[in-house]
Structures are given as C-alpha cells and as structure tokens.
Amino acid sequence: LRIDAGPVFRCEEPGCHEGFPQKDKLIKHQERHAKPSKCPVPECEYSKTRFALRKDLDRHQRSKHRSHGSELLCPDPKCKRAKLGKGWPRRDNLLRHV
C-alpha cells in the first residue's frame, strides 16, 4: 500500500512553489521559466520576446508571419474571407466567423 506524500520533484526557480509527482512534468514546467524559443524575424516586435513553449512560438509565427502552414478560408464562396490572402492564420479565428 502506497500513501501519496505529495509532489516529489519541486521547482527551484525563486518564487515558484510548484511540485510534480514525475520528473518529466517538472522538466516541462521549467521550460516556462527558461523560455528557450524566440521569434527569428529581426524586424518583428516580438524578436526580443521569448516563448516558453515551442507551440507558442509556432502560433505566433502562423498569426504574425503566416508561416508554418497555410491560411484557413471561409467555406462560403461569397464571403471575402474565402479568397487567398484574406483567410485566417488560426482555426479559432475561423470558427468564430462561421
């Protein structure tokens, strides 16, 4: 019989009191403090900002630089957003529209 004594792996970042039952969860959490990814576009206002997770950088690049995938178009052919160059970079934007 195992009695759960709570988190075993604690974050050592000053001011952070998070704890995790598995080491891999702690490592993923620590990436939020390290913020290893930054926008590679020098003229971007976010080029000096770092992103905690790679998915956050990818989302930034899709929405600001239209990279990492194509735009999403409105399914209504009469809509101005049904044409290339007028669509959305993110699915949540398209879903709010339709």
Residue-wise pLDDT for 52-64, tens only, equals 888 888 888 877 7
Q: Look at the pTM and tell me if it is higher than 0.85.
A: no
At 68 the pLDDT is 47
Phi, psi values for residue 10, rounded to 5°: -105, 140
For the chain, give every domain's residue range. Answer: 35-67, 70-98
Cβ-contact 47, 41 below 8 angstroms: yes
Tokens 């990436």, residue located: 31
At 10 the pLDDT is 92
Residue-wise pLDDT for 13-40, tens only, equals 999 989 999 999 999 899 888 888 888 8
- In 3D space, the residue among 81, 48, 41 whose CA is nearest the CA of residue 64 turns out to be 41
Cβ-contact 68, 55 below 8 angstroms: no
- Write out the two tokens for 50: 């770092």
More confident residue, 1 or 52: 52
At 6 the pLDDT is 67
Tokens 């001011």, residue located: 15
